[in-house]
Amino acid sequence: MAQKISCGIDIGTDRVKVLIMEQGVPVPHVLGCGSAESGGVHQGYIEHPEETANAVREALSVAAKAAGVMPRRATVGAGGIGLSSVTANGAIVVSRADAEITELDASKAVETSRISIPTSLLQNRRIIHTTPLQYKVDGKSVPTSPVGFKGAKLEVRTFFVTCMEQHLENLFEAVETAGIAIEDVVATPLAASTATITRAQKAAGVVLANIGSETVSIAVFENGLPVSIEVFPVGSVNVTNDIALGLRIPLEEAESVKRGAIIGASFPQKKLDEIIAARLTDIFELIEAHLKKMGRSGLLPAGVVLTGGGSALATIDDLAKAALRLPARIASAITGESGKSQIKDASWSVAYGLAAMGLQDAARGLPLGIETARRAKHTVVGWFKQFLP
């Protein structure tokens, strides 16, 4: 039997990460991973595809050498400030004379919800994920797919993830210029969630906060489904800038201080802690404001899970707990990965999740009803199946 492998490419502001994986039992195996300094990316948005393509090539070369195989296709993450989400409602009259609801009726209901989205929210944007959250038949909620139920009216509440069209075009150009065909495009918060939070946490209610270099992205889950994605234009680089200003030191030195690489330096620890805490508190207040807007402030039993490179900052979980009034933990390891893995921290969660999704067969997995943007000369097809190790 031929070796079944997949590749995940996570293009971040600071680093491009490539992870190559093979199917294993009971969990997949990481064959190799590689990273390179990003180029042409600002706040997760690709501004110069040719520079980004060079970084992808470099990271891909390192990963392929470690894996002993060069992938031809990849599942690629779409993130940064170009990402957003919206929820809309739709309703149809059931078509069959015997009032039995069909797959076509369900699809039409979802389409009516898409049409109801204000034009201003979709201008210059493309829908990359579509998730039916709740169906109602004649005004009564049904706990699963409505197909097979009988009724006169079918309603649906649908969650859509959108991305700026130009960002997607630049993303496709960068990856394809690097010699890789795009198998699928997945919103990075959803990819990270497959590697860092469990099915039980998603069912109870949880917020995943990915703290990157120049952005913080969050994904909120309830009843096993994503209900909100938001990206804030602030990240760990803002902590570095604050340290540089507060301690009057160069940016390079401030970055080392932030990471704890400079030990025994003549900086007042109390002042350093105050600088870091102030910026992190500002970030968590942005998240709290979003949860309040959703009506979920303090109401997610599984709390907040912190991932991304910025989650390594000291006491960040305690600050999150205080600011959000929720249980908080750092996703310090990839769910299901063995201690022998090349994956050392949760900053690889997006790349891992993307590669894991790439292993899923159309006939297997646990469908969430999330339609994804699958690249085929600018067409949108395919279905996202959530991977849970």
Tokens representing residue 325 in the block: 């009034």
* 247 and 316 co-located in one domain: yes
Question: Residue 264's pLDDT is what?
Answer: 55
For residue 18, give every residue at least 6 positions away whose Cβ sits within 8 Å of its Cβ, in sequence order, or none: 7, 8, 9, 10, 33, 34, 35, 56, 59, 60, 62, 63, 74, 351
Question: Residue 381's pLDDT is what?
Answer: 26
Query: Which residue, 295, 312, 330, sits at the end of a domain?
Result: 330
* 62 and 180 co-located in one domain: yes
Closest of 44, 366, 85, 358 to residue 219, by C-alpha: 85
**131 in helix, strand or coil?**
strand
pTM of the model: 0.88
Question: Residue 349's pLDDT is what?
Answer: 93
For residue 258, give every residue at least 6 positions away whose Cβ sits within 8 Å of its Cβ, in sequence order, or none: 236, 239, 240, 243, 276, 313
Into how many domains does the chain fold?
Answer: 3
Query: Which residue, 163, 186, 220, sits at the end of a domain?
Result: 163
* 169 and 288 co-located in one domain: no
* 188 and 150 co-located in one domain: no
Question: Residue 342's pLDDT is what?
Answer: 54
Q: What is the pLDDT along the chain (389 residues), one digit of tens a residue?
A: 456 899 999 999 999 999 999 988 778 899 999 999 999 999 999 999 999 999 999 999 999 999 999 999 999 999 999 999 999 999 999 999 999 999 999 999 999 999 999 999 999 999 999 999 999 999 999 988 999 999 999 999 999 999 999 999 999 999 999 999 999 999 999 999 998 999 999 999 999 999 999 999 999 999 999 999 999 999 999 999 999 999 999 999 999 888 876 655 677 888 999 999 999 999 999 999 999 999 999 999 999 999 998 998 888 999 999 999 999 999 865 644 544 455 667 789 999 999 999 987 432 433 333 445 543 333 222 333 333 33
* 246 and 266 co-located in one domain: yes
Question: Residue 343's pLDDT is what?
Answer: 63
The total of other beta-carbon atoms located within 10 Å of residue 93's CB is 10
* 158 and 176 co-located in one domain: no
Owning domain of residue 152: 85-163
